[in-house]
C-alpha cells in the first residue's frame, strides 16, 4: 500500500498523463502504475493506492519517472495481497473526486 501527500496543484497534470497514455507506456511498470493511480483513494489529504512492486528500494523506478513530481512524503506498507489492500481502502473517496 502506498501512502503519499498529493501536490494538489499538479493533480490535473497527472490526470492528463494518465489519460493520454504516457504513463501506461512506461516500461516495465506503466500499466500497473496507471491502474493503481486511476483507482487511488484519498483520506485526510493522503492519497492511497495499491502497487505491486519488486524493486529495492520500493517504487524506485516509479518515483523517478512519475511519483516524485506529483506526491510528497511517499511511504510504502506491505500488505498480504493486492485484493486485501484494495479492500482496506475501498470505502475511501476516489482521489480524482478531490481535484
**pTM: predicted TM-score of the whole model, two decimal places:** 0.92
Tens of pLDDT, residue by residue over 50-99, are 998 888 889 999 999 999 999 999 999 999 999 999 999 999 999 998 54
The CA distance from 49 to 37, in Å, is 7
What pLDDT, on the 0 to 100 scale, is given for residue 98?
A: 56
Tens of pLDDT, residue by residue over 32-44, are 999 999 999 999 9
Asked if 28 contacts 92 with a C-beta cutoff of 8 angstroms, the reply is: no
What pLDDT, on the 0 to 100 scale, is given for residue 30?
A: 95
The CA distance from 81 to 78, in Å, is 9
Tens of pLDDT, residue by residue over 22-34, are 999 999 999 999 9
Asked if 95 contacts 6 with a C-beta cutoff of 8 angstroms, the reply is: yes
The CA distance from 61 to 26, in Å, is 10
Residues in the chain: 99
Amino acid at each position: 500500500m502506498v501512502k503519499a501527500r498529493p501536490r494538489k496543484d499538479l493533480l490535473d497534470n497527472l490526470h492528463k498523463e494518465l489519460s493520454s497514455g504516457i504513463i501506461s507506456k512506461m516500461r516495465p511498470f506503466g500499466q500497473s502504475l496507471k491502474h493503481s493511480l486511476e483507482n487511488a483513494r484519498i483520506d485526510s489529504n493522503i492519497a492511497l493506492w495499491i502497487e505491486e512492486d519488486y524493486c529495492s528500494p520500493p517504487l524506485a523506478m516509479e518515483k523517478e519517472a512519475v511519483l516524485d513530481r506529483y506526491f510528497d512524503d511517499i511511504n510504502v506498507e506491505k500488505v498480504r495481497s493486492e485484493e486485501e489492500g484494495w479492500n482496506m481502502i475501498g470505502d475511501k473517496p476516489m482521489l480524482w473526486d478531490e481535484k
